[in-house]
Amino acid sequence: MLGPLSIPLINPRASYLACKEEIDAAIARVMESGRYILGQEVVAFEQEFAAYIGVRYGIGVGSGTEALHIALRACGIKPGDEVITVSHTAVATVAAIQLCGARPILVDIDPDTFVIDANQIERAMTSRTKAIIPVHLYGNMAEMQVIRSIADRHGLRIIEDCAQSHGATYGGQKSGAWGSMAAFSFYPTKNLGALGDAGMVVTNDPELSDRVRLLREYGWRQRYVSEIPGLNSRLDELQAAVLRVKLKHLDQWNEERRKKAKIYTERLAPLGIVCPSERLGVKHVYHLYVIRTKERDALQGFLKKKGIQTLIHYPVPIHLQKAYEDLGYRQGDLPLTEQCSLEILSLPFFPELKEYEIEEVTESIRSFMKNECIK
């Protein structure tokens, strides 16, 4: 019999242990340097991560939320503007829009991939629409060729939300390389995770890059002299040093995620569980392994009793949350998003997850489904 939470949902400590000597050495290097903010580690990681994504510039900031906020500001998004995105996302996406004083316009998702339904974008546009934030959710990518075509046709900015898609590709091009700008989070549980909060903005545009660098540190080009109103959102040297180590392992870890996702799908699909789908031309990197079932709540309770941790990403769509009542949405406005929120469940998933643990999860689900059928 398994004990309480014998199989965790995630295990960020495992990625530290996987390259402990390298990380410890990197931390020691920073500590001994005496430079802890915006030093050579940050500069090196900015260059290395931008090269990995396939863009010219990377600018390290304090978190993924701040990366989105600063990217929007750099693109000139201001009070009165509208930004189209989804309700099925981490609240950070919408919070960043509101931090600019702009209005989030929320559209429905493709229920098979959980990302923005590109067909909904033009229907949601008004004369105030200035940008689109496609969220590459769970490690999957939005239909960027279609979205880019729409943006070009209407003169809109694209700011990709890549918090969950490090290394994912669409048509062979990585997430973060499609829009005017992109925002990444390096929260510890991400595919590329720091040991605390950290983020980055990437772009090919030198003017936008320059503006982001000003915005992240009080508008300074010369210390203590502000050219524009800015804020304090700096990636620190320790996190950059850790991320430089982990970046070398990212592709390998993503391949492990893909292998484990395949095992899950092979074992769960025959049970009638709706498993993650991967469109032709998209390389899904499975930040999370998210299933759908109408018996979600009962299944989650059953797995908890077995010591198997699960979570719902996300239980209440943003348009139905109390904090965002003033956006004016009601139950039924985004039916596919609302239906998904009642059926989705994230299973234990990380590169170091053992195959016997996947077997324990899937056999527990098989047992649950068998009992449901008997009822």
Question: To 10 degrees, what angle do helices 237-247 and 40-53 make?
Answer: 40
Please tell me the chain's helix, strand, coil percentages from 3-state DSSP, rounded to the nearest 5.
45, 15, 40
Spatial CA neighbour of 284 closest among 264, 259, 303, 316: 259
The answer to pTM > 0.75 is yes
* Two structure tokens written together for 212: 């982001």
> Using CA atoms, how far apart are residues 248 and 68, in angstroms rounded to an integer?
25
Average pLDDT over residues 261-278: 97
Please tell me the predicted confidence (pLDDT) of residue 286. Answer: 98
> Using CA atoms, how far apart are residues 82 and 237, in angstroms rounded to an integer?
35
Parallel/antiparallel/unpaired status of strands 82-86 and 129-132: parallel
> Using CA atoms, how far apart are residues 215 and 61, in angstroms rounded to an integer?
10
Spatial CA neighbour of 27 closest among 236, 201, 232, 193: 236
Please tell me the predicted confidence (pLDDT) of residue 311. Answer: 98
Cα 165-183-312 angle, rounded to 5 deg? 50
> Using CA atoms, how far apart are residues 43 and 50, in angstroms rounded to an integer?
11
pLDDT in tens, 289-342: 999 999 999 999 999 999 999 999 999 999 999 999 999 999 999 999 999 999
What are the C-alpha distances in Å from 131 to residues 8, 33, 57, 272?
Answer: 38, 41, 20, 39
Query: CATH classification of 250-374, choosing from 3.40.50.970, 3.40.50.300, 1.20.840.10, 3.90.1150.10?
Result: 3.90.1150.10
Counting DSSP H helices and E strands in the chain, the numbers are: 12, 14
Q: For all residues of the chain together, what is the average pLDDT?
A: 97
> Using CA atoms, how far apart are residues 206 and 227, in angstroms rounded to an integer?
17
> Are 13-247 and 250-374 equal in CATH topology?
no
20-24, 196-200, 278-282, 287-291: least confident range:
278-282
Please tell me the predicted confidence (pLDDT) of residue 371. Answer: 82
DSSP sequence for 195-237: SS--EEEEES-HHHHHHHHHHHBTTEEETTEESS---B---BH
Burial 279-314 (b: 16+ CB within 10 A, else e): eeebbbbbbbbbbbbeebeebbebbeebbbbbbbbb
pLDDT in tens, 181-236: 999 999 999 999 999 999 999 999 999 999 999 999 999 999 999 999 999 999 99
Domain chopping of the chain, boundaries: 13-247, 250-374
pLDDT in tens, 131-179: 999 999 999 999 999 999 999 999 999 999 999 999 999 999 999 999 9
Average pLDDT over residues 254-266: 98
Q: Is the pLDDT of residue 5 over 90?
A: no
Spatial CA neighbour of 243 closest among 67, 56, 43: 43
Q: Is the pLDDT of residue 81 over 50?
A: yes
Name the band, by pLDDT with cuts 50, 70 and 90, for residue 375: low
**How many other C-beta atoms are found inside a 10 Å radius of the C-beta of residue 325?**
11
End-to-end CA distance of the chain: 24
Please tell me the predicted confidence (pLDDT) of residue 2. Answer: 45
Please tell me the predicted confidence (pLDDT) of residue 1. Answer: 41
Question: Do residues 24 and 238 lie in contact, with contact meaning Cβ atoms separated by under 8 Å?
Answer: no
Name the band, by pLDDT with cuts 50, 70 and 90, for residue 61: very high
> Largest Cα–Cα distance of the chain, in whole Å?
72
Domain 13-247 class? alpha beta
DSSP 348: P
Parallel/antiparallel/unpaired status of strands 129-132 and 181-185: unpaired
Spatial CA neighbour of 158 closest among 84, 225, 65: 84
Q: Is the pLDDT of residue 22 over 80?
A: yes
Please tell me the predicted confidence (pLDDT) of residue 109. Answer: 98
Please tell me the predicted confidence (pLDDT) of residue 4. Answer: 56
> Using CA atoms, how far apart are residues 362 and 375, in angstroms rounded to an integer?
20
Burial 217-230 (b: 16+ CB within 10 A, else e): bbbeeeeeeeeeeb
pLDDT in tens, 91-113: 999 999 999 999 999 999 999 99
What are the C-alpha distances in Å from 115 to residues 140, 310, 312, 324?
Answer: 8, 21, 16, 21
